[in-house]
Structure 1
Amino acid sequence: MNPSRYSDSEIDTVYRVIRERRDMRHFRPDPIDSALLERLLQAAHLAPSVGFMQPWRFIRITDRSLRARVHALVDAERRRTALALGERQDEFMRLKVEGILDCGEVLVAALMDGRERHVFGRRTMPDMDLASVACAIQNLWLAARAEGIGMGWVSLFDPQALGQLLRLPPGARPVAVLCLGQVDSFHEKPMLEQEGWASRQSLNEMLFENGWGDEKLQDSGAAG
């Protein structure tokens, strides 16, 4: 027996929260308890980071007028995205893509400034700082789902415009607008799958062995 292994029920819970995490857009305006928000942010702060650089920074938006200005930037990019989608423009515009004005809390996750001084693990792959921030966001997302709190990741914005609005220092960059709040229910499937925008691909289509495109692994049945 592996002494480091969790109990079956604990393992089931880990897989359950991964399976049931959802990108939420519909929220109730109820506030999030301050102790709960602290727990969620602590979960984010426990994320792994390359070279232990901890490049994440979180900005809590508590000013309602500032929240409205963030929303305006997102809505402007939403319309530009719709135009870029061509024939799917109308379909996209019918989707609810954010809940910034509705949710209990809005956070902006950003990359810190001065990242160039961190070379460990980034000399040939400097974008690992972004990967580290994504890990922090995922931690926050999973913790929120376990607590019964909905979260939505919004990426429809001009980073330079949002950075100026939030007075980010030179070199820092916003990565995500995060909506958190109480929800009536969680979707059984990802919202975009439910709405027919896209469907989840098979793992076998994305799993190779020893080289890109080599299908021996799935042919052998090892991929399940």
Structure 2
Amino acid sequence: MTQAFDETARAAVYRAIHERRDMRHFMSDPVEPEVLRRLLDAAHHAPSVGFMQPWRMVRVTEPTLRLSLHACVERERVLTADALGERSDEFMKLKVEGMLECGELLVMALMDGRERHVFGRRTMPDMDLASVACAIQNMWLAARAEGLGMGWVSLFDVDEVRQLLGMPEGARPVAILCLGHVEAFYPRPMLETEHWAKRLPLSECVFENQWPA
């Protein structure tokens, strides 16, 4: 007896994977509460090492806090441009976030007290971060299926965001997530369209038995 989804369901899963985009252009229409609940629940059902469930999600609803987080990102955007050297001007022309336009702004963070979770992390403590990344991807794919765009913003000073959100010692922000309605999804990843980078061939990322010489 097969455990596979039927053909239509399988196609929907692969479609969400291939059509997911890191969105930076949003409409300001609000996200319906029930849809948001489904997306948060999708994130919460991600796999986690040792079932530690290290993700913590902060929904930002105060306009002044959203502005403060945006200012934090803008400062890091300028510093990143300085660090890029000859690609600085090219980088500054890119739209890297939609924090002021999106219907919902969320901060995905790592929980505090993670040191007590040893299962699966004794030699690989960063598996807590990998688990949070799985939660983000779950939400991203679910958002695409719901017709909503999502963008991952990683340009920020970690300690500054920690302070803005009143995080306890040991907790750490991982991503600022822009979520909301979009006029259209990019046909290809925006950074590919803008010639910043291109997708590697699968053959360059899959090896057999040993790393190639």
TM-score under structure 2 length normalisation = 0.99
d(CA) in 2 for partners of 1:107, 1:129: 19
2:183 maps to a residue whose letter is: D
Q: What SS does the aligned partner of 1:211 have?
A: coil
Over residues 79-98 of structure 1, what are the superposed CA-to-partner deviations in whole Å (9 max), with x where a residue is unaligned?
00000000000000000000
Unaligned runs of 5+ in 2: none
Unaligned runs of 5+ in 1: 215-224
Structure of larger gyration radius: 1
- Which residue is equivalent to 1:211? 210
Counterparts in 2 of 1:179-198, with a 5 A limit?
Answer: 179-198=178-197
Q: Following TM superposition, by how much is the alpha carbon of 1:105 offset from its aligned partner in structure 2, in angstroms?
A: 0.3
Equivalences, count: 213
- Which residue is equivalent to 1:147? 146
Q: What SS does the aligned partner of 1:137 have?
A: helix
Mapped pair 1:200 → 2:199: yes
The one of the two structures with greater contact order (alpha-carbon pairs below 8 A, sep at least 6) is 2
Over residues 157-186 of structure 1, what are the superposed CA-to-partner deviations in whole Å (9 max), with x where a residue is unaligned?
011111011110000000000000100000
1:26 maps to a residue whose letter is: H
- Which residue is equivalent to 1:95? 94
Larger displacement relative to structure 2 (8-17 or 132-141): 8-17
2:139 maps to a residue whose letter is: L
d(CA) in 1 for partners of 2:141, 2:117: 28
- Which residue is equivalent to 2:122? 123
1:116 maps to a residue whose letter is: E
- Which residue is equivalent to 2:77? 78
Counterparts in 2 of 1:1-224, with a 5 A limit?
Answer: 2-213=1-212
Q: What SS does the aligned partner of 2:140 have?
A: helix
Misfit runs of 4+, over 6 Å: none
Over residues 79-130 of structure 1, what are the superposed CA-to-partner deviations in whole Å (9 max), with x where a residue is unaligned?
0000000000000000000000010000000000000000000000000000
Q: What SS does the aligned partner of 2:142 have?
A: helix
- Which residue is equivalent to 1:221? none
d(CA) in 2 for partners of 1:13, 1:35: 21
2:99 maps to a residue whose letter is: I
d(CA) in 1 for partners of 2:174, 2:195: 27
Larger displacement relative to structure 2 (160-169 or 205-214): 205-214
Q: Following TM superposition, by how much is the alpha carbon of 1:207 offset from its aligned partner in structure 2, in angstroms?
A: 1.0
Q: Following TM superposition, by how much is the alpha carbon of 1:213 offset from its aligned partner in structure 2, in angstroms?
A: 1.3
Q: Following TM superposition, by how much is the alpha carbon of 1:3 offset from its aligned partner in structure 2, in angstroms?
A: 2.0
CA RMSD between the two structures: 0.7
d(CA) in 2 for partners of 1:206, 1:176: 25
Q: What is the percent sequence identity of the aligned residues?
A: 66
